[in-house]
Structure formats: C-alpha cells, structure tokens
Structure 1
Amino acid sequence: MSLKVVTVVFLLATIVVASDDTSFTYNGFQSSYLYLDGSAEFTTNGMLKLTNHTKQQKGHAFFPSPIVFKNTTSGSVFSFSTTFVFAIRSEFPNLSGHGIVFVVSPTKGVPHSLPSQYLGLFDDTNNGNNSNHIFGVELDTILNTEFGDINDNHVGVDVNELKSVKSAAAGYYSDEGFKNLSLISGYPMQVWVEYDGLKKQIDVTLAPINVGKPEGPLLSLSKDLSPILNSSMYVGFSSSTGSILSSHYVLGWSFKVNGKAQQLAISELPMLPRLGGKEESKVLIVGLPLILLSLILMVALAVVHVIKRKKFTELLEDWEQDYGPHRFKYKDLSLATKGFREKELLGSGGFGRVYKGVMPISKIEVAVKKVSRESRQGMREFVAEIVSIGCLRHRNLVPLLGYCRRKGELLLVYDYMPNGSLDKYLYNKPRVTLNWSQRFKITKGVASGLFYLHEEWEQVVVHRDIKASNVLLDAELNGRLGDFGLSRLYEHGTDPHTTHVVGTLGYLAPEHTRTGKATTSSDVFAFGAFMLEVVCGRRPIEKGGESGSEILVDWVYNCWKKGEILESMDPNLGANYRPDEVELVLKLALLCSHSEPLARPSMRQVVQYLEKDVPLPDLCMLSLSSNGLTFGLHEDFQDCPMSYPSSMNRPISHTSSIVESLLSGGR
C-alpha cells in the first residue's frame, strides 16, 4: 500500500510544538502537512478525505510529529483537548461503510490493520491486546455484535480494542432534551474530545455544525489513560469501508495539550459536495415528449395519492363525531412513530405492541399501543369506555390521550414515560437497581392511583391487569399505573357484568377464575401480587426445578409463618432499608392475597396502611386454617384468554400450594 506525504507551506494551519505542550489548528487543509496513507487524500478545495468510493479500503491521516503526552516526573498523562468537523457520505441514504475514529497511536499509521469492521485500527490477531497502546473515539455506523455495539449509529470510547469501554447513541443534549443525530446523514457535525489529567475523566460531545458546543457531554467516563499511552504518541484519524461505498471527510481539526483546543472558524471550512451529486440538465427538444412526460408524472402522482390514501384509511362512523378531541388520525400516529418501525418499539405483549412517537405538530412524546382486538363487547361500547377512561386524571396514572381505529386494529395513545416499565428494574439482572425508598414510593403511588380508580372518580374503574410491567416510571421515577386496555367501568353501588376471564396468570383472584367477574376485590388481589414483586424482586410464579412452578406468595407466607418474613425480600436491596416498612408491605400483600374477597382490604384501607395512618391488623387474627389446595386449572379455565409473563411461556405444572386458606385457590 503506497504511502503519501504531503509537504507544503503552512497557510491555514497554526502549529506550536514544545516538550510538554503541543497545539495546532486546521481550518481546512489547503496547503497543509499531514502524514497520509491508504486511501486518504486532500481534495482540491482543502478537505481531508479519508476514504473514497472504493470497497474494503482504509485510510489514515496523522499529525506528522510525535506529541509528548506524559509528565516525565509523575508518569501521568497530561490533559488534552481536540475538536474536529466530519461528514460521512454514502451511496445509499440509509446504509454506510463503517465509520471514523479519532485515534492516539504509538505509530504514524497502522500498517497491519484491516478495513471493514476493524476501522483501520486493528486486525483479528491484535484486537484487545494491551500492547496496542491505542486510545480512540469511534463514530461507528455499523452494528457489529462481535464488538458489543449498542446500535448502528453510536459514539464509543475505545481502549486497545473495538469493544468500547463506553458508548452512546449519536446525538446531543439541548434545552429541549436529547436530540438524535444520524452519523450517515451526509451533513457536517462537530466532535469535542477532552481528557482531564487531574480528574482522569474523558468527555465526548457531538453536535451539528450549526449548533454551539452543548453544555453537557454525550458521554463521560472516568478512565486513567496513563497505563495506556506512551510518553510520545501520534494523533490522527482512521477510517474504512466495507461492502458499501462511502466517503469519510474531515473539514477542520484543532488539538491542544494542557489546555482547551482552539475553536474552529466554521465559516472558513471548505464546502462539502452537494448531496446527490451534480444536477443533470435535461433539455427537451420538442414539445411532445414534454407533454408525454407531464402526463406520466400526473398519472404517477395520482396513483401515489391513491395508494397513500389507502395506506392511511381508517374507520370513522357517525357516532364517533362526539369523540373528536379523543380521536387521533392514523396518518399522524404513523408519522409520529416513523411508520411503526422496529427502532421505535418500546415493548410487546399478549395484547399488542407499543411504539414511541413524537406527534408531528405538537412535538409531544407519546406511546402508541396497537391492539388487535377480538372482543365480545361491541366496538361502540368499547370506544365509549376508552374515551371515558381518557378523562381520568391522577398523578399516578399514565394519561390515556385517545384512540384511533383502522381496519382490524385499535390504537391507544398514552403519554410517554421516559423511564419505561417497572419490571425491567426488578428482573433479569437489572442495570439499575431501585433502592427501598424508591420502591416504597412507587408502591404507595400505585396504591393511590388504584384508590382513585375504585372510589374517587365518578365511576368505578376496575383495571384487571395490575402488574409490574404495567407500572411505568416517569422522569422522577414516580410509579404510574398504565395499560387500561382491559379496564372496565360500572356505576358506584352496582355490580360489574360477568365477562370472560382476562388478565395475567399469577395475579388472578380465585373468584375471578370461577365466576368471570372482575371486581375491585380482584384488583386488590392483583395489587397484593404486585407488592410482592416490588419487595422480593421475583415474579408471582417462577419455574422451581423438579418441584415444578414455585408460587411466590406461598414462599413469603411460609417465611412469615417461621417468623422470618424479611428473608423473602430482594437481596439486591442491600442493607439500606427500613425493616418496619418492608415488613408492612409484605404482610399487607399477604392480606390482599386472601382467598376470600371480603377478607381483603379495600384500596382506601391499603392506602391508610401504607401511609401508616391506621395500624395493620395482626395476621394471626384472621383465623387461618391449613386447608391448602392444588394449584391447577379451574373447570373451563383453558378457554379463557390471558397474557403470560415471559417466564411463563410454557405449560403450567400442577404444583401443590402449601399456603393456608389465606392463599387457597387459583391465582
């Protein structure tokens, strides 16, 4: 591979080199001097072009002189700062040929490196070797699972390997919150990389070229680079292509040791080629071809219009005119969720898939649930209930904003909760563990919201699907009960109608499975299972080896029976908790799980117990008997539609429930 060194007079670059201080600034690379190899070159208008439209190529560009990075006395790495403007242009709008890396390397160029996913930094023999002594910040546009990439559009900090120490989706923080950026958009963006030698901290910031440096970095991590970097190192860029043709540009670059890199003069940077290439001139010599072309275009536009209208066709009947403010247009929801694409998917379950969206005009963030519904209840009555539920307003409920009907689908639109569902903080080795005060606050919040549904609103609302996955957390980690797709309304003082059994196994009250009636008492039973989830960090039913399925409430009951109820709490809570509060919630959960509906407290009483306004009754006074029943399916139970937790996607074995009549019967 030929090496190219460009040596010309310095016109646009200012360079200062000392033993422990180096700074330089390139506002464009016209008449500049850098060490280039591979496919790297300078364009005629002064851009550094690392790769061209050639497959499986790599390109390097390095500042030609070594830079002193370490204090000779202490051996620690000096603080340093760099900023540069880059752009990635691909032959396809949504695909690219790998990315760009700002790199600190012991050598100029990396002669034995590979292109494609190795980004011109390593090969398959040295990736991950401590002897590499390489630090890099990658702007990666390909998802490589072998390196643990988080997505195909991220910024990562690399140390001696391409598995990033830390990475984040490309974007930046503004006053309006986080804004996503596409690294392969073709538009110029600016990067700031800063290392604090005293704090041993690395900050990386990204922003569009027309936006100033954001106050907060995109990613920040503590990392001492002293064991990584040698006393003298080279700084530069590496890039590569794979099977997709793409060009990687650097428009300007500034660097400084022991100080802040000089700001780039954005107005002086060279211009990128126009997106889409040169516009071709098509001159029609005679009028007839022009007329034919116009007719073809008109027909094509008409066809596109018909297809588009058909795509967004939705059902709208006369009786829905009254629900105007609650009715969303399918077109708006499709635009908000980017066509319900997989990247916007927040989650899915037995009753639908939920997508994140941003409404096109108001810019409000929403969660859109697509429900494929085959209900015995008429659509008109169902929509009337949905609209009524949309009037609910409580700080611990997820607001249901409205609905949309299209073909066989019903779409429910909720307010978006940024911290997602509670279950991801409880199960499967959560990345973030909630402490006790947070869990207790969430429990009390959900209880307050459920009390509002049962007693404080103008009608009684039975939720019918209370569980951790249906409790969402807002920006302040407040618990909000959501997913009213199964809720039912009835007037105060009347009985609910009998329906077929719906809900989730492990939360269903015994009488619900027998009679099909969902009541406020069956909601209290489910809330008891929910409280056990929160305190124990376990699902209501889990596979228990040879013994079959293990019932959480049975286990907690036996711990209480032995006088060791605190042994059932989540070990991830550690030692920072209040034993009296943990014991209160566990005992209250057992009381709510009583097999007899009349023995369970109301949600009003539950709130009073949790707020400690009223002392919890002694469980021993409930006259419990050892009348345990087999945990099996009730007659006609198999005909009842229900959703299952992820751990229950398998047949339920007939397991003996050792709990006494407090818990007897199906759940």
Structure 2
Amino acid sequence: MTAKVFFWALLLTLGLSASDEFTYNGFNGVNLSVDGLAGITSDGLLRLTNATRHATGHAFYPSPMRFKKSQVDKVLSFSTTFVFAIIPEHQMLGSSGFTFVLSPSKELAKDSADDYFLGIVNMTNNGNASNHILAVEFDTWDSPEAEDINDNHVGIDINGIISNYSKPAGFTSDDDGKFQNLTLFSGEPMQAWIEYNGTNTQLSVTLAPMWKPKPKIALLSPTINLSSIILDHMYVGFTGAVGITYSYYYILGWSFEMDARAPELNLSSLPLLPQNLTSLEKKRKTLLLWLPLTLLLVLLTVAGATLVVVRKKRFSEMHDDWELEFESNRFPYEQLYKATRGFKDKCLLGIGGFGSVYRGVLPASKVEVAVKRVAVHESKKEVKEFVAEIVSLGKLRHRNLVQLLGYCRRKGELLLVYEYMPNGSLDKFLFYETKQTLDWSLRFQIIKGVASGLQYLHEGWDQVVIHRDIKASNILLDGDMKGKIADFGLAKLHDHGAAPQSTNVVGTLGFLAPELARTCKVTTSIDVFAFGAFLFEVACGRRAIEPNKQESEQVLVDWVFANWKMGTIHETKDPRLGEDYVLEELDLVLKLGLFCSHPLPSARPSMRQITQYLNRDVPLPEMLPYHCHGDGIF
C-alpha cells in the first residue's frame, strides 16, 4: 500500500475530514449527518425543523475539522458563511431559535422538554466547561431562563444557552453608518458571516439581508481565547429547537474553510424558499387579483353558493347531551372569534404551557376578556370531567382570583374565557428591567392579596381547591395593580375532610414541595410551600431557580435560608427597592417564606395562619434551625 493510499485510509478509519473546506450552493446530493427534525428537502434546502412542536433538529458536516495542530497549540483561524431564513407559525411570534455550532460530538441534546436549550445542551449539562461547545445563536424567543435581551437577537454562547455576548439582530449600513434592524423571523433570506482570527483571538459575527454585500462593521466582534473551549478536532453544523410555537429554519447555502476566508456563495444559484419569498411569486399573486371579470363573477357565484356551508363549518362547535346542564356557562364560538378578530396575532397576549391566550372584546357587551385556547385529546369521559371541573371553578368568587367566565368546546380544542387583566403578570415587573419597578407597599399588598385568595381556595369554598402552581408568573395584575391568582390548569378539587389524592407530580421546579417526590399526595401544604418560594420572588426580585448563578445561589429558597443562618437575611432583598421599604414587613415576609418552605409539611403554617401573620393579628413564631440541601430544604 502506497503512503498516499495509507493516509486516505487512515483518515477514513479515524472519521477525520480529508478537506478543511467545503461550499454548498444548495444541498441536493450533499452528505450531511442529520437527526431529529432535520433533513434535506427535494428542493435542496437544509431544513432544521418543521411544524412539529417541542422538538429539535441537528445537521453536521459528517467528518470533524482539525482546529489545532496539537493539544497545546492555539486554535487555528476559521471562517464560515451561510444564508438562512426563518418562517414562523405566527407572523409576530418566533420560536426557540437555531445555532451555528462547533462541538466535539454530533450527538447533542434532544430533550423536547427543554425547548429553550436550542438543541445544544440540556438542563443537566448547561454551562458545564466539559461541553467544549461554541455556538452562535439566532434567537427569536425571549427566554427568561437564558437571560435573553429580547426576542430577536444574535448571541455567542460558550458551553450553554446564556449568551456571553449578544446584540439585537441587524447590521450597520456602509452608506450612512446607521444601524438597521433585521427581523430574524420575517421569512426573508439573510446571510451570516462568522470568522475567528487565531492570531488576535477575535470572533466576528456579521449579518445582512441576502443580496447586500458583507457590512464592514461586524454585529459582534469580541476577543475570546478559544484554546480551552475548542478541542483538536470538532464537528461543525447547525442545531434548531421549537417549543409551543414552531418555526421552519432553512439553510439555503453554506461554505466553511480553515485558516482562510470561506468561499463566497453563488447567491443566484441557491434554492428558492417554499413560500412567498421571491419577487416573481409576489408578482404572480398580484396578477391573480386582476383576472378577467367573468372569472371573478364565476368565483363569486361559487362562493355565494357555499357561504352558508363555510360559515357553519368555521363556527362549528362540539355539543353533547351531558353539556345541557352547563349551557349557561357556554360562549358561542362565533362570539369569541369576533371578539379576538379571528384570533389574530396582534391580539395574542402570550403563550404558556397550557395554550395561547388572546385579548378580546365581546361584541355585544364590549366587555374585555382573555380567551385561552387549549388543545384536548382526551376521551369523551375525561373531557366531560374536565368541563365539569371548569364550570365548578367558574363558581369561585373572590377579589384575588381571576374570574373564569365560561367556556366553549370545539373538536380537539377547548376555549376558556377569563376576565381581562390589563397589567399582565407579576413576574414581568419583578424580573424584566423594561417594566417599572414595583415599590414595597405594592409588593406587600399583592402578597397579602394572594394569601387571602389561597385561603379562600383552601377553606372558603364548597370544596378544597389546590392550585399546584403558585408563582409570580401566575399572578395577574388588574388596572389597580391588585394581584389575582390565575391559571388553574393544574388545580385539584376534593371535598373538605377527604383524604389527600395521589396523582402525577406536576408543577414548576423551585416551587415543588420535597414530599411530592415520595408520596405524590396533593395537599394544601404543597401550595403553602410554593407560596413560600413566591414570597422570596417578590421580596428578592429573583426567580426561584437561576442556573447561571453560583451553585450556592442557584435555588432561591436555599439561598435565603443560608443568609438567614448567617444573619444576613435582609441582604437578599431586591436591590431595586433601594431604601424604599419597611424593614419590619420585609423581615416578616422573608421569615414567613422560610416557615412556608419547611421540609416537614406538618411544620408549615396553614393559609389562615399565614393571613393572620401578614395582617399582624398574630405574631410570627421564632424560627428554629433546620438543614438545607439540593432542590429543597431538608
């Protein structure tokens, strides 16, 4: 065997690349390693995701590239450019985003429960130095967990999803030096350039519309020594993730080269996007509007003949005999459709784990409402039980509960109608700098209001209602900034005096009582534990879990407990409060939070006692030391 043949055979055996550059003007016939939702379309587009929700896709050049000559050497220069387009499900709402990534392995995170991890890491390894991952994210979702700057940005991520550097998407014009914004999920193709200079260790990321030349000024150009991050050999490719909304992430063309500038793409030969993205297609659709009058009359005649059928289908609802007793609680679908202007994106208030919420104005009464659309796939018996429970919850009446006004049922879908809360959710005021800072008096009033609402749920109604998801994001604020408990999607009802029910463990990390993992029993005490974490959210201005913090500060309950032991509990208050707070009230809230978070359910107070403590009707008992560990206090 000649030396040359042996060399090539060795490369194939080791899975190393025989070339340090490639150029793909489209992907027909290209050999890429793909998994998850990723694939190559018949038109030659690399598609990272599709209309599936809560999933990821990965696409890599099949062989690793050599980025170092040895383990001690510095990282070699490299350069890549690609044209991409993001087509979202909703015109005004993106999804989790996609990345260009360098990774020591092609086997990256595929956990569909963690959509905001972009398909590069998961909750377990996020931020670990052992990941050796460098990613440039093109993110169209404002994720609090990732500390995103907005829902339309480009970021440089090292070993995790929290960007070390990020800026809003756009470019600086060479003509006038002004910054021009780009909407990543506009559906229009854009070109990105990513270049690393191994000599001065500068990593540059540049963005521009597809047909514009590369701008002279990069969007991001930090100095980063990648020697400890990038290994000798790394795979290059793309990852994409979608959550409750989906987006199509397309790569139209891609080139890469080591130690040199990546070859330019032949833009005119790139494959076309599948919808509404070329001027030719737009002109064709415009021309269709000017068809001969005779054809238009024919179409109008056909439309008129089918109008009744179409209207009936559009506003069709599900009606079963068992719903007769709930008829007074039903809203006609046509009424909700008109109230939300056909569920237009501009009426969208937000998207949570249980569905999309739209603002609406009821046509007849002009009452503002919030309409939640929930997909249902349960059996007829389960739907009947669910509706019966919804109607029961609609009978709850308390000034600190968001009023459920009624429901509507269609095939595969349930619509819940609530009173509209103009100031949105409390977490926006606590964790987002774009919102005004709540002063202490407002925070304390909200705390007392939520406590009063929870006491009513536990003790003041015909049945015991256990919410199971008390947290700042589920507290909505009305026009007077009064806090009201919302989102009863996980609530459980049982008769007073009945034995606790066993069920699946659901809820939010950081708010789950430790005994749930052992007993799975739903009691009022688990709401009390979550209320304790909620007290810390309000007083400290921090989320219940912040994985980017030091290990001792990641779990809010543990961090407050540790400060109490050291005698520094008041230092955990939200720094945005400044000196504008009442020390006695702050001390009460923080220590009451520790009582509510006690590891033993029997040691936690009831909501009635909590209300008495907050109203100063009864003094708070002295705290006794107990131990704190892991995700809870033990």
Coarse TM-score class (shorter-chain normalised): 0.5 to 0.7
Indicate yes or no: 2:554 matched with 1:503: no
Show the counterpart of 1:125: 176
Map Cα deviations across residues 318-339 of structure 1 (whole Å, 9 max, x no partner): 1111111211122211211112
Instruction: Give the Cα–Cα distance (whole angstroms) in 1 for the partners of residues 349 and 564 of structure 2.
Output: 38
Instruction: Give the Cα–Cα distance (whole angstroms) in 1 for the partners of residues 511 and 493 of structure 2.
Output: 20
Show the counterpart of 1:523: 527
- 2:322 partner SS: helix
Task: Give the Å deviation of 1:298.
Answer: 5.0
Show the counterpart of 1:316: 319
Structure 2 residue corresponding to 1:404, chosen from 398, 403, 408: 408
Amino acid at match of 2:317: E
Residues 243-392 of structure 1 correspond to what in structure 2 (within 5 A)?
297-374=300-377, 378-392=382-396
Instruction: Give the Cα–Cα distance (whole angstroms) in 1 for the partners of residues 453 and 298 of structure 2.
Output: 61
Task: Give the Å deviation of 1:625.
Answer: 4.0
Map Cα deviations across residues 516-543 of structure 1 (whole Å, 9 max, x no partner): 2222111111111111100001011101
Instruction: Give the Cα–Cα distance (whole angstroms) in 2 for the partners of residues 293 and 432 of structure 1.
Output: 54
Show the counterpart of 1:607: 611
Instruction: Give the Cα–Cα distance (whole angstroms) in 2 for the partners of residues 419 and 363 of structure 1.
Output: 19
Instruction: Give the Cα–Cα distance (whole angstroms) in 1 for the partners of residues 296 and 182 of structure 2.
Output: 50
Cα 1:346–1:358, aligned 2, differ >3 Å: closer, same or farther? same
Instruction: Give the Cα–Cα distance (whole angstroms) in 1 for the partners of residues 475 and 515 of structure 2.
Output: 24
Show the counterpart of 2:422: 418
C-alpha contact 2:464 2:496 (8 A) present in aligned 1: yes
Aligned residues, how many?
359
Amino acid at match of 1:334: Y
Instruction: Give the Cα–Cα distance (whole angstroms) in 2 for the partners of residues 625 and 482 of structure 1.
Output: 33
Instruction: Give the Cα–Cα distance (whole angstroms) in 2 for the partners of residues 457 and 371 of structure 1.
Output: 26
Amino acid at match of 1:499: T
Show the counterpart of 1:491: 495
Amino acid at match of 2:610: V
Indicate yes or no: 2:466 matched with 1:462: yes
Write out the 4+ residue segments of structure 1 that deviate beyond 4 Å after TM superposition.
292-298, 374-377
Task: Give the Å deviation of 1:495.
Answer: 2.0
Amino acid at match of 1:580: E
Amino acid at match of 2:418: Y
Amino acid at match of 1:449: G
Instruction: Give the Cα–Cα distance (whole angstroms) in 1 for the partners of residues 376 and 485 of structure 2.
Output: 21
Map Cα deviations across residues 139-159 of structure 1 (whole Å, 9 max, x no partner): xxxxx8479xxxxxxxxxxxx
Residues 72-83 of structure 1 correspond to what in structure 2 (within 5 A)?
none
Instruction: Give the Cα–Cα distance (whole angstroms) in 2 for the partners of residues 392 and 472 of structure 1.
Output: 16
CA RMSD of aligned residues (A): 3.1
Instruction: Give the Cα–Cα distance (whole angstroms) in 1 for the partners of residues 177 and 440 of structure 2.
Output: 45
Task: Give the Å deviation of 1:126.
Answer: 8.5
Residues 178-193 of structure 1 correspond to what in structure 2 (within 5 A)?
none
Show the counterpart of 1:472: 476
TM-score by length of 1: 0.50
Show the counterpart of 1:577: 581
Cα 1:549–1:570, aligned 2, differ >3 Å: closer, same or farther? closer
Amino acid at match of 2:319: L
- 1:378 partner SS: helix
Cα 1:509–1:374, aligned 2, differ >3 Å: closer, same or farther? farther
Task: Give the Å deviation of 1:381.
Answer: 1.2
Task: Give the Å deviation of 1:583.
Answer: 0.6
Show the counterpart of 1:230: none
Structure 1 residue corresponding to 2:449, chosen from 430, 440, 445: 445
Instruction: Give the Cα–Cα distance (whole angstroms) in 1 for the partners of residues 580 and 564 of structure 2.
Output: 21
Task: Give the Å deviation of 1:546.
Answer: 6.2
Cα 1:295–1:630, aligned 2, differ >3 Å: closer, same or farther? closer
Show the counterpart of 1:50: none
Indicate yes or no: 2:546 matched with 1:542: yes
C-alpha contact 2:477 2:483 (8 A) present in aligned 1: yes
Show the counterpart of 1:168: none
C-alpha contact 2:553 2:559 (8 A) present in aligned 1: no
Instruction: Give the Cα–Cα distance (whole angstroms) in 1 for the partners of residues 593 and 626 of structure 2.
Output: 18
Amino acid at match of 2:367: I
Show the counterpart of 2:437: 433
Structure 1 residue corresponding to 2:516, chosen from 512, 517, 528: 512
Instruction: Give the Cα–Cα distance (whole angstroms) in 2 for the partners of residues 552 and 447 of structure 1.
Output: 20
C-alpha contact 2:558 2:629 (8 A) present in aligned 1: no
Task: Give the Å deviation of 1:392.
Answer: 0.8
User: Identity, % of aligned pairs?
Assistant: 57
Cα 1:619–1:293, aligned 2, differ >3 Å: closer, same or farther? closer
Task: Give the Å deviation of 1:553.
Answer: 0.7
Map Cα deviations across residues 101-125 of structure 1 (whole Å, 9 max, x no partner): xxxxxxxxxxxxxxxxxxxxx9963
Cα 1:294–1:540, aligned 2, differ >3 Å: closer, same or farther? closer
Instruction: Give the Cα–Cα distance (whole angstroms) in 1 for the partners of residues 545 and 561 of structure 2.
Output: 14
Show the counterpart of 2:233: none
Instruction: Give the Cα–Cα distance (whole angstroms) in 2 for the partners of residues 528 and 374 of structure 1.
Output: 34
Unaligned 5+ segments in structure 1 are 1-93, 95-121, 129-143, 148-242, 244-281, 283-288, 632-656, 658-662
Map Cα deviations across residues 602-636 of structure 1 (whole Å, 9 max, x no partner): 0000000000000000012xxx344x5444xxxxx
Instruction: Give the Cα–Cα distance (whole angstroms) in 1 for the partners of residues 327 and 615 of structure 2.
Output: 40
